[in-house]
Amino acid sequence: MIQKSSVMRMCIVCKHTFDRRTLLKITNDYEQGIMFNKGIGRSAYICKSEKCFKDSKLRKKIQKALKTVFKAEFIDIFEKEIANLN
């Protein structure tokens, strides 16, 4: 029987590799915009450690990974999403 291997992704902040299911996925969908933990399109992954969420250059790293510029309300939505994880 063939065993499935887990899909590994890299955190854009700390550059460590984790299983995809343990990371926060931020997706830039061309129809619906920025989404968390769902959607198809260009994605960036962040591990659920306090250090990575509090990184001072996090916004710039996400913008670079998704190749987009965020509106002002994105940071508020992102902080609420982080609060829901903890």
Q: Does residue 69 fall inside a structural domain? A: yes
| pLDDT for the residue 17 | 96
- What average pLDDT values come out for the chain (86 residues) when binned by 10 residues? 84 94 90 87 90 88 89 82 78
Structure tokens at 59: 């916004």
| pLDDT for the residue 86 | 65
The 3-state DSSP class for residue 40 equals coil
Q: Does residue 34 fall inside a structural domain? A: yes
Q: In which domain, by residue range, is 67 found?
A: 8-85
Q: Does residue 59 fall inside a structural domain? A: yes
Q: Does residue 3 fall inside a structural domain? A: no
Decide: 51 and 10 in contact? Cβ < 8 Å: no
Question: 37: domain CATH number?
Answer: 3.30.1230.10
Domain count for the chain = 1
Give the C-alpha separation, 82 to 51, whole Å.
12
| pLDDT for the residue 65 | 92
Give the C-alpha separation, 26 to 66, whole Å.
9
- Report the predicted TM-score, pTM, of the whole model to 2 decimal places: 0.84
Structure tokens at 2: 């063939």
